[in-house]
Amino acid sequence: MTERKKPGVTFESWVDKQIREAQDNGAFEGLEGTGKPIPVGDPGDELWWVRGYLKRENLPADALLPTALQLRKEIERLPSTLIGIRREDSAREVLDELNARIVDWIRFPTPPIVPLGPVDVENWMESWRINRAEVDRLEREHRSQSAEPLVAASDTAGASWWARVRRTLTWRR
C-alpha cells in the first residue's frame, strides 16, 4: 500500500520519491519492453493505440461498440451463426442466451438507446430447421458425388428407398 501525501509536500516531489524508492527496490527490473522504444503508430491515425490493443488482445472491433449495438449486430448475424449449429437444442440454447442478454439490457439500458427486443425463438427455430435440412442435403450430395457409386443408377430407378438401401447393403457384403 502506498503512503499518503503529507501536507506541505508537492505532488511532484512525492511522486518522484515513490518512483525512486521503487527503482531502488527493483520493482522495475525485468519488465517487458525494457530498453526498447515506446511503439508509436501511424501519426495520421489518432486511434493507432486502440487498433494495437484490439490486435494484441485478439478482440473483434465490435468489442468497442455499446451493448445495444453489439446485440443488434449479433441479431443481424444470427442466420450465419445458426447455420453452423448442427443440433436443435444447441441452436435453441444460443437463441435463449441472446434473449437473456437482450432482456438484461432492456431492464437497465445504457446509451445509445436503440429499439431492441427479444428475438422470436420459435420463428428462428423454424427457419433453422429449413436451412439445416438444406445444408444436410447439400452435404449428402457432396459426399455422394465424391464417393464412387455403390449401385448402378439403372438398378435403383423406380425402386423404393428401402429396396435401394437393401441393395446397397447386400452389394457391400
Q: Check pLDDT > 50 for residue 165.
A: yes
Could you read off the pLDDT of 8-58 as tens digits, one per residue?
767 667 788 888 889 899 888 888 888 888 777 777 888 888 888 898 899
Question: Does residue 22 lie within any of the structural domains?
Answer: no
Question: Does residue 108 lie within any of the structural domains?
Answer: yes
Question: Does residue 87 lie within any of the structural domains?
Answer: yes
Question: Does residue 95 lie within any of the structural domains?
Answer: yes
Question: Does residue 141 lie within any of the structural domains?
Answer: yes
Question: Does residue 40 lie within any of the structural domains?
Answer: no
- The model scores a pTM over 0.75: no
Q: Check pLDDT > 70 for residue 142.
A: yes
Interhelix angle 67-76/88-107, rounded to 10 degrees, is: 150
Question: Does residue 132 lie within any of the structural domains?
Answer: yes
Burial of 102 (0-12, 13-18, 19+ CB in 10 A): buried
Q: What domain range includes position 126?
A: 65-149
> What is the domain count for the chain?
1
Question: Does residue 88 lie within any of the structural domains?
Answer: yes
Could you read off the pLDDT of 59-110 as tens digits, one per residue?
988 888 999 999 999 999 999 899 889 999 999 999 999 999 999 999 999 8
